[in-house]
Amino acid sequence: MNLILTESRKLRFFTFTMLYLAQGFPFGLVNTALPAYLAENGASGVAIGSFIGIANLPWSFKLLAGPFMDRWTFLAMGRRRPWVIFAQSCMVLTGLAFLFFPGGLNNIALLSALCFTLNVFGASQDVAVDGMAIDVLPVEEHGRANAFMAFGQVAGISISTAVAAVVVINFGMPGIAVLLALAFGLILSVAVLVRERPGEKILPWTPGEATQRSIDMKPEGWKVIVVDLFKVMFLPTSVFIMAAAFIFRFAYGVWISLVPIVVVQEIGLESTQYSSFISATGFIAAMSGLALGLVIDSKGVKFFYALVLGLYGLLCIFIGLTQGLWSSPGYLVTVGIIQAFIYQGGFISFIASCMKICWQKVSATQFAMYMAGANIGLSLGAGAYAAVENVLTSSQVFLALGLVFFAGVIVVWLANFEGHGERLAMLDAPGKTGDFAPHG
């Protein structure tokens, strides 16, 4: 079977959609299905909050996986694919581990440990997949590929949320084990069957060898990784895009903290209605987002990223100025749908812009750093809302949030992707180390 990622666009889109589907499964299980089950069975808010916090902790530290993947791999199977297969295999094994703890649903400490372990390998798979995408995707496909990847993750979250909720009630931990093992095993088969480039091994014992490109790009030691990372992270465009990612996720952190308070506490909508609506609109937006990839690739990621941040800012200011309409069902539905579509466009362009500026020599570590900065922004945004909740009214927070999104537009527009690409070409040239002139 000759399934080579660098030789087939359809294969690339399918493979990365499936691998992102695997990343969505733990989110649906850990963040929705299991907490709902625990709440239904009398667990306290503190216990559920602690479970979610502990289980999701690995995603905050996935930066640590990047340097290992840049430094060590089995090149005969590709630069990133061995790590993808390893992490995906460990997800299968962790899923099977649920089978051996049938009473785990009654032991939150044990359940937290199992879900923490699952997310360790889920986060590691995420880093490896992102690194592989940067390695094999042509620049002109970044928008479309990220649209498919975003759809895959949302689909995984939606599927696991719906299916796991039924499975956990009717079959308990053994049912979860079968569900996870089958889902992760199916996606593992995709990772095993495809290869990054022609001539590489499918598995360690099959024929094949490392490509010269992979050999040339392998760093010789930790010092080389640190030096290369320093060179690329502090190029002007890299700084601007990291700042934009921080601003986008900071603002979104405020949004996801503010909106449930407004909708549930101030307006009086039931939490189940709110959750169901957000899930449905998110999935529909992800489906529609597949078409956005074409727009991003044709118009350019810089234009589209700035556009969606500007639209987010306008939406926030509109909401802040129309408080008298908040209780109208039609208003809420309209705003919710618009927000879902804008967020999906922002998420796709956010990932595509970070991917576009990565230097392939240290892409896993570099991309993980952008994601870490974005995750910190999300957490600080949520904290910022908590700090101003009793100082500003909800409408004032929306108005301030609009200004934050507009600041993101300015930062994105300052980025020079073409100049950055030229600088990366200089760094790749034999005997060249590049300088830090501010045109990149």
Closest Cα partner for 85 from 112, 124, 59, 46?
124
For a pLDDT cut of 90, what percent of the chain falls above it? Answer: 24
pLDDT digits (tens, 9 = 90+) for 386-421: 778 788 888 898 999 999 999 999 999 999 988 888
pLDDT digits (tens, 9 = 90+) for 43-97: 765 677 677 778 877 877 777 777 777 777 888 888 889 999 999 999 999 999 9
Q: Which helix (H) or strand (E) holds 303?
A: helix 301-321
Domain 225-428 belongs to what topology? Growth Hormone; Chain: A; (1.20.1250)
At the top level of CATH, the class of 5-218 is mainly alpha
**Domain chopping of the chain, boundaries:** 5-218, 225-428
DSSP letter for 4, please: B
| Residue 304 and residue 349 in contact, taking contact as beta carbons nearer than 8 Å | yes
Return the HEC string of 385-397.
HHHHCCCCCHHHH
pLDDT at 440: 45
The Cα angle at residue 133 between residues 16 and 307, in degrees rounded to 5: 90
Regions of the chain short of the pLDDT cut 70: 1, 40, 44-46, 49, 219-221, 256-257, 260-261, 264-265, 269-276, 278-279, 293-295, 297-299, 430-440
Instruction: Quote the crossing angle between the two packed helices 329-356 and 236-260, to the nearest 10°.
Output: 160
Encoded tokens for 369: 């750093």
Closest Cα partner for 160 from 18, 19, 26, 275?
26
Question: How far is it, in rounded angstroms, from Cα 7 to Cα 21?
Answer: 22
CA distances to 158, 334, 434 from 277, rounded to whole Å, are 12, 12, 50
Whether this model's pTM surpasses 0.85: no
Closest Cα partner for 423 from 355, 359, 348?
359
CA distances to 68, 124, 139, 191, 266 from 17, rounded to whole Å, are 24, 17, 18, 12, 38
**Sign of the C-alpha dihedral, residues 140, 157, 273, 327?**
negative
pLDDT at 439: 39
pLDDT at 435: 40
Question: How far is it, in rounded angstroms, from Cα 98 to Cα 184?
Answer: 14
Encoded tokens for 328: 């109208």
Same fold, 5-218 and 225-428: yes
Question: How far is it, in rounded angstroms, from Cα 175 to Cα 163?
Answer: 10
